[in-house]
Amino acid sequence: MYSSFQCRVSGEEGPSAAASGAGVTGSGSTTAGGGGGGSASGTSATVGSAGAVGTGDGLPFRRGIRLLETGCVENVLQVGFHLSGTVTEPATPSEPEITHKVAISFDRCKITSVTCGCGNRDIFYCAHVVALSLYRIRKPEQVKLRLPISETLFQMNRDQLQKLVQYLITAHHTEVLPTAQKLADEILSSNSEINQVHGAPDPTAGASIDDDNCWHLDEDQVREQVKQFLSQGGYYGSGKQLNSMFAKVREMLRMRDSNGARMLTLITEQFMADPRLSLWRQQGTGMTDKCRQLWDELGALWVCVVLNPHCKSEEKSSWLKQLKKWGDMDVCPLEDGNYGSELPNITNALPQSNLAQDSLSRPRRTVFSRAVEACDLHWQDSHLQRIISSDFYMSPSYQREGESLLFNPQGLPLWLDHVPTACARVDALRSHGYTREALRLAVAIINTLRLQQQRQMDIYKHQKKELLQRGATSTTNLEGWVGHPLDPIGCLFITLTETCRMDDDSTMDTGDGDPRPPVYHHVPVWGSPDGGESYLTLALEVALMGMGQQRIMPEGLYAQDKVCRNEEQIVAKLQELDLDDLLVQTLRKQAIQLLEAGPFSGLGEVIHRESVPMHTFAKYLFSALLPHDADLAYKVALRAMRLPVLESSAGSGDVGHPHHGISIVPSRYPRWFTLGHLESQQCELASTMLTAAKGDMLRLRTVLEAIQKNIHSSSLIFKLAQDAFKIATPAESPPDITLLNVALELGLQVMRMTL
């Protein structure tokens, strides 16, 4: 056993050791197995990259590096599978020099226990443990190696053993004398329990090959910290720490560390024990947005855990039982946060014609419902396996019956799963460290969305004349992708852009301020017949598809607010992209398709009365397209200015249609809780167009007409009049007469509305 450990430590099993997750991670913390293997440089690189994840500053890891490099680690001794040493903290103006004793135990390339004299009470390893671990990795030749203590004792005779024990007691008599006397009494007693067992334990010998082994995790400390964070009123002061713990769980999953699910279970138990849950339920009040976001992330993490493609069936059964137990508790938060009707389930989009009836009969859905449903999903489908295992999987020259549904006309594989479910698979693959497989599945999903978009455009061409005559449609998506609990669009975007991100230290958070925006470059799609296609263009394309999806406004304040927040998050990510020719080409193509997709697009000519407005999305498109195609930019922005739910005439159209939209989805105008925010976004879009059209009389007139037609708030029109006047009268140049005329027209409009 000891000799095999020697091989692992010296780097002969580098790849396996690295795969087992030697690393210092999250909040600058470690879950690392320094002594566990890999070459010194390779494992240190893993430790370093992992230590930068989490909160971003990586403080304990960097302090550990500094202690190591300044020679603060001494007296390093390895006895069997036990490593010990001293780490000295240099003196500071306010603190004297302090030396800490550190001890670490290993088992099969994992740190299984740690102790440090610093008294650190954190769920992550302190800088002293980091320093000692990295010393063992980087300077193996300077570490004194000894056999497990039981082997050494076996080589001694009686006199030597007696001398060893007496010297040990003499050196540490105040600490060990009571224990030594107690053990001596038990050994001398023939009836004592200690004499019923052959041999004695050896903490330096390592575990048996049949014993479970996992990274050290202080479960009591995890519980205590989560409980402490939750007790800090409203979660506001603790949100950052709890999000850091969630990031830590994701990192553990990516390293395929079994502690990931263990830690998530501990976190969830404390969340469920939060006394405010019952209080909120009794009072009928909703929890804060910060709190809701934490619960959403908790539910999403459980979906990732249960979708682990290589988890054992016993593990999944255990998780399912626990998730159902939590979900059955009265205090368990509901998925929509409103104790009302819920979104369709993870595997089936609800038929539109059944919404009214099913909203009453739909079962109670909690934040864990998605994870419970995900337990029914598997990875054994042969088509799915071929997609994720090869970059060059194409349709066979001779297709059997039914195979035409598995490939697009170009022969590329499709994955016809419910879109959020398919994206949950991508997130699970990525979260568990299967990056290449996640990319392959993401590409198949995008090819499916492309084909679906093309077919929707073909359908609209046949119905266009009829729909334009009616001026209204009942076609809509009851389950939007933006604001969805599983965040399908954000998942695909992050998966695709991660592989295009340039590793540059300047983009990382150094702890001194905000991180610089990431820098991306084009990475060709492996196996794609289109040589100009990259993962970056796919990321942009799928984000535009998702944002442009025509979908019904969900019920409830939280669900509506989540749509707005998720939309802003995606736009912020899109704004990080430096639009080159390839991306502009993708942008133009998708904008045109969204304009021509009819009721299937939020930018189509005819949309459902209660569709989510496109103002925020259109503002991004307008700003991005304006330098490259001004006509298209204005066409998109002007189309998006509408807010059909406020149109008094919206209820008169489409009455002859058997599935008239208003009969299917009753008017919820009073329940558009975010209407004020949506109107302000509409106003911002108009202001952006006015600013860009300065000096262009024709465009200003068109924008003015759109404002007068679509904005129904006199206060917002007055604000636009002020904006136009301010832009038209700069301090250091003559006034712009065209914009002044617009300001006057808007002022007159306000008077007509208010007098």
Q: Is the pLDDT assigned to residue 361 strictly greater than 60? A: no
Q: Is the pLDDT assigned to residue 265 strictly greater than 90? A: yes
Mean pLDDT of the chain: 83
C-alpha pair distances (Å), 350 with each of 148, 343, 362, 480, 559? 63, 8, 11, 12, 17
Task: Tell me how many degrees the CA angle 148-154-157 measures, rounded to the nearest 5.
Answer: 140
Q: Is the pLDDT assigned to residue 741 strictly greater than 80? A: yes
What is the greatest pairwise CA distance in the chain?
109
HSE toward the beta carbon, residue 738, CA cutoff 13 A: 15
Going by their DSSP bridges, the two strands 73-79 and 110-116 should be labelled as: unpaired
pLDDT band at 662 (very low <50, low <70, confident <90, very high): very low
Query: CA nearest 452: which of 525, 548, 356, 314?
Result: 548
Going by their DSSP bridges, the two strands 73-79 and 144-146 should be labelled as: parallel
The Cα 372–Cα 363 span in angstroms is 13
pTM attached to this predicted model: 0.79
What local confidence, expressed as pLDDT, does residue 739 receive? 94
Query: CA nearest 154: which of 164, 145, 144?
Result: 164
The Cα 416–Cα 349 span in angstroms is 13
pLDDT band at 239 (very low <50, low <70, confident <90, very high): confident
Share of the chain above pLDDT 70, in %: 81
Q: Is the pLDDT assigned to residue 665 strictly greater than 50? A: no
What local confidence, expressed as pLDDT, does residue 232 receive? 79
Q: Residues 371-387: what's their mean pLDDT?
A: 96
Query: CA nearest 31: which of 257, 347, 278?
Result: 257
pLDDT band at 403 (very low <50, low <70, confident <90, very high): low
What local confidence, expressed as pLDDT, does residue 119 receive? 80
Q: What is the DSSP string of 606-652?
A: S--TTBPP-HHHHHHHHHHHTTT-HHHHHHHHHHHT--GGG-GGGGG
Q: Residues 621-625: what's their mean pLDDT?
A: 98
Q: Which residue has the higher pLDDT, 388 or 11?
A: 388
The Cα 251–Cα 263 span in angstroms is 11
Q: Residues 570-577: what's their mean pLDDT?
A: 96
pLDDT band at 338 (very low <50, low <70, confident <90, very high): low
The Cα 23–Cα 30 span in angstroms is 6
Q: Which of 341-355, 606-620, 687-701, 702-716 has the lowest mean pLDDT?
A: 341-355
Give the count of beta carbons closer than 10 Å to the beta carbon of residue 625: 22
The Cα 31–Cα 263 span in angstroms is 12
What local confidence, expressed as pLDDT, does residue 468 receive? 84
HSE toward the beta carbon, residue 176, CA cutoff 13 A: 11
Residue that has been written with the tokens 């409103």 in this structure: 338
One-letter amino acid at 559 equals A
Q: What is the DSSP string of 552-617?
A: BPPSSHHHHHHHHHHHHHHHHHHHTS---HHHHHHHHHHHHHHHHSGGGBTTSSS--TTBPP-HHH
Using CB atoms within 10 Å of the CB of residue 737, give its burial: 0 to 12 exposed, 13 to 18 middle, 19+ buried: exposed
SS3 515: coil
Q: Residues 380-391: what's their mean pLDDT?
A: 95
Q: Is the pLDDT assigned to residue 514 strictly greater than 70? A: no
CA dihedral sign, ordered 119, 125, 126, 132: positive
Q: Which residue has the higher pLDDT, 609 or 546?
A: 546
Q: Which residue has the higher pLDDT, 743 or 288?
A: 743
User: Is-contact 390 440, C-beta < 8 A?
Assistant: yes
pLDDT, one tens digit per residue, over 102-156 is: 999 888 777 888 889 988 777 778 899 999 999 999 999 999 999 999 999 999 9
pLDDT, one tens digit per residue, over 424-460 is: 999 999 999 999 999 999 999 999 999 999 999 999 9
Query: CA nearest 422: which of 532, 542, 521?
Result: 542
pLDDT band at 402 (very low <50, low <70, confident <90, very high): low
Radius of gyration of the chain (CA): 31
User: Is-contact 248 54, C-beta < 8 A?
Assistant: yes
The domains of the chain are located at 2-150, 219-374, 382-692, 694-755
Query: CA nearest 134: which of 45, 20, 266?
Result: 45
Crossing angle of helices 289-306/419-431, nearest 10°?
80
DSSP H helices, 77-215, are 127-138, 149-154, 158-171, 173-188
Using CB atoms within 10 Å of the CB of residue 444, give its burial: 0 to 12 exposed, 13 to 18 middle, 19+ buried: buried
Strands (DSSP E) along 497-546, which ranges? none
Q: Is the pLDDT assigned to residue 409 strictly greater than 60? A: yes
Q: What six digits make up the tokens of 305?
A: 């855990």
Q: Is the pLDDT assigned to residue 94 strictly greater than 60? A: yes
The Cα 59–Cα 670 span in angstroms is 50
Give the count of beta carbons closer than 10 Å to the beta carbon of residue 660: 17
The Cα 724–Cα 692 span in angstroms is 11
pLDDT band at 525 (very low <50, low <70, confident <90, very high): very high
What local confidence, expressed as pLDDT, does residue 738 receive? 92
What local confidence, expressed as pLDDT, does residue 106 receive? 84
What local confidence, expressed as pLDDT, does residue 107 receive? 83
Q: Is the pLDDT assigned to residue 471 strictly greater than 50? A: yes
Give the count of beta carbons closer than 10 Å to the beta carbon of residue 252: 25
Q: Is the pLDDT assigned to residue 348 strictly greater than 70? A: no
Q: Is the pLDDT assigned to residue 679 strictly greater than 80? A: yes
Query: CA nearest 435: which of 381, 498, 371?
Result: 498
The Cα 658–Cα 204 span in angstroms is 77
Q: Is the pLDDT assigned to residue 17 strictly greater than 50? A: no
SS3 76: strand
pLDDT band at 300 (very low <50, low <70, confident <90, very high): very high
**Cα 49 to chain centroid, rounded:** 18
Q: Residues 370-391: what's their mean pLDDT?
A: 95
The Cα 463–Cα 471 span in angstroms is 12
The Cα 546–Cα 87 span in angstroms is 53
Q: Which of 22-31, 63-72, 233-242, 632-641 has the lowest mean pLDDT?
A: 22-31
Highest averaged pLDDT of the listed ranges 172-176, 235-239, 340-344: 172-176
The Cα 304–Cα 462 span in angstroms is 41
Crossing angle of helices 239-254/259-272, nearest 10°?
150
The Cα 509–Cα 511 span in angstroms is 6
DSSP state of 364: P
The Cα 500–Cα 489 span in angstroms is 17
What local confidence, expressed as pLDDT, does residue 530 receive? 75
Q: Residues 672-688: what's their mean pLDDT?
A: 95
